[in-house]
Amino acid sequence: MRWMPTLGVQLRSTEALVQAHVLPDARGLNVGSKRVRFGPGWTNLDVSAGPEVDVVGDAHHLPFPAGSFDAVVLSAILQYCRNPFRVVDEVARVLRPRGVVIVNAPFLQPCCPEPGCVDRFRFTQEGLVGMFEDRFDISEAGTTLATGSALAMELRSVAASITRNTALSAALELAVAWLAWPLSRWTGHHACDTAGALFLVARRRPDDRPEGV
């Protein structure tokens, strides 16, 4: 919507995590990439074709041989997957031993459906770690969207749902979004149990033997 302020302030962007944990010459896979490309050695996969999409495919059945990549990014994608645990298995399969996975996933924030996708899940930090810890060593985990951003986004969503009148709903959403904008800039409180979104960085264990390897 025109004039709508951005309410999500990232504490740790996916790009920053890639720079911190992935070597510049690594071969990487960005799942659910849209237009984001992290470097020349990266392959972009998405469910729909687009200008920066190299491969159209499904995260539940990655169309690559085992051990193909040094790094995999799952940024704001797990919530749309029918079976996130299956996606984790596929990531383990296509990663080389000690390969790194970088995950960004929503926790306390409104549903955000994408065209052709259903927003299905939210993830606590304990839940996110639990999905990976059996096959990966956890390197780092924390908050990407702080409490202020989570509250601001929720207030905007509530305002938009008060009435079924389209014009009035849009006006309320815009007004509340601007009123909540200063709150979204409050990054002093970023506990994981009140976060808008969380991140995880993990490395595939050398002794892990995913199916297909």
Predicted confidence (pLDDT) at residue 163 exceeds the cutoff of 80: yes
135/8: higher pLDDT: 135
Task: Answer yes or no: is 124 within a domain.
Answer: yes
Residue 130: which H helix or E strand, with range? Answer: helix 125-132
3-state secondary structure of 4: coil
For residue 56, being part of any structural domain is answered with yes
> What are the start-end ranges of the H helices in the chain?
14-21, 84-94, 125-132, 147-160, 166-184
Return the DSSP state at 83.
-
**pLDDT score, position 6:** 84
Helix axes 147-160, 166-184, angle to 10 degrees: 170
Query: Is 38 inside any structural domain?
Result: yes
Residue 200 within any structural domain of the chain: yes
Helical (H) or strand (E) element with 98: strand 95-106
**Is residue 155 one of the residues assigned to a domain?**
no
The span from the CA of 119 to the CA of 83, in Å, is: 12
**Mean pLDDT along residues 180-194:** 78
Q: Judge whether 175 lies within some domain.
A: no
Q: What is the pTM of this model?
A: 0.89
Token duo for residue 133 = 């810890």
- Residues 11-47 pLDDT 10s: 889 999 999 999 999 999 999 998 899 999 999 999 9
| Structural domains of the chain, count | 1
Give residue-wise pLDDT tens across range 83-125: 999 999 999 999 999 999 999 999 988 887 677 789 999 999 9
Per-residue pLDDT, 147? 84
Q: pLDDT digits over 50-90, tens only?
A: 999 999 999 999 999 999 999 999 999 999 999 999 999 99
Domain that holds residue 103: 14-146+189-204
Question: What's the pLDDT at 188?
Answer: 67
In a domain, 50, yes or no: yes
- Looking up residue 121, the CATH number of its domain turns out to be 3.40.50.150
57 inside domain: yes
